[in-house]
Structure 1
Amino acid sequence: MGQPAQIQITYGIEPDLDVAEFRRVLVESGLAARRPADDLVRLGQMLAQADLVVTARRDGVLVGVARTLTDFSFCAYLSDLAVCRSAQGLKVGQGLIGATRAAVGREASLLLTAAPDAVTFYDHIGMPRVADAFRYEREA
């Protein structure tokens, strides 16, 4: 009896990520309820206007996406971090955050706003909390 096959996750930067693939990951991650998942035009704009799209693939299949707005020198806002439920628990979220941090550079701070159900994940991986943050909610 041999060893179980090791799960291989490949991380990459995909500025031209397919909108349908992005939508599928949003749905399969549970994040679709907080995103305009049924508006493919808007999802396409979200991807096109992002400064950085980091992906995680398992055997070529997209299982995670980190979409970031950044200037690559001072600040970065990780707007979307989505991992398919089938890949949760495999440290894909941590890998996406690490790849995002590497891509934006050490000089840039990285900020994200956690979905309520994800707060314990960020606490678990040791991501520092920000005490003073403010935001306007979307109106549409």
Structure 2
Amino acid sequence: MAENSHVLYASEPALDIGEFRRVLVESGLGETRPVDDPARLRAMLTGADLVLTARLDIEGKPLIGVIRAMTDFSWVCYISELAVSRSAQGLGIGKGLMDEARRQLGPSVAISLISMPDAVGFYERIGMKRMADAFWFSRKS
């Protein structure tokens, strides 16, 4: 993919589950998400308050990135996935998705997330502050 390809960023609450699954797998997040459970993927999408996509502005508008988030649109937004296909990583797509999230949420909404270890540098480069006090109950299934 050319670095100067035009990318369209949009809210896409009815994102196709197959496209969502493909980008999770292609991004590397497929190893940590239930990509072989379509019902759970559907629930993940329908339960999200905000689904943003990055698509190439070419025939077929292929999906190359997605953000899935929970928010009250007033105080805080938790980003549960920021996935960019490996072929598009390093081209500014992740930053573009985060910029679009910030634009849509507005300046009064804080954004939080839990980073995969190999993505920490990305979040630091785009100006997110690392927080030390996070807590977690693991899921049972």
1:65 maps to what in 2?
A: 66
- 2:33 alignment partner AA: R
Counting only pairs closer than 5 Å after superposition, residues 1-140 of structure 1 correspond to structure 2 as 6-58=4-56, 59=58, 60-140=61-141
| Distance apart, 1:5 and its partner CA | 8.2
Structure 1: gaps (5+ residues): none
SS of 1:69 mapped into structure 2 = strand
Q: The residue matched to 2:13 in structure 1 has which SS?
A: coil
Cα-to-partner distance string for 1:62-82 (whole Å, 9 max, x where unaligned): 000000100000011000000
* Distance apart, 1:45 and its partner CA: 0.4
Structure 1 outlier segments of 4+, above 2 Å: none
Distance (whole Å) between structure 1 residues aligned to residue 107 and residue 124 of structure 2: 21
TM-score relative to the length of structure 2:
0.92
Partner secondary structure for residue 107 of structure 1: coil
Q: In structure 1, what is the Cα distance between the partners aligned to 2:89 and 2:4?
A: 15
Aligned length: 137
Which whole-Å CA distance do the structure 1 matches of 2:81 and 2:117 have between them? 14
State percent identity of aligned pairs.
52
Unaligned regions of 5+ residues in structure 2, if any? none
1:119 Cα deviation from its structure 2 partner: 1.1
Deviations, residues 31-80 of structure 1 (Å, cap 9, x unaligned): 00010011011000000010000000012100000001000000110000
1:35 match: secondary structure: coil
> Distance between the aligned counterparts of 1:56 and 1:132, measured in 2?
31
CA distance in 1, matches of 2:104, 2:36: 29
1:134 deviates by 1.3
Instruction: State the alpha-carbon separation in 2 of the partners of residues 122 and 38 from structure 1.
Output: 28
Q: For residue 46 of structure 2, what is the amino acid of its counterpart?
A: A
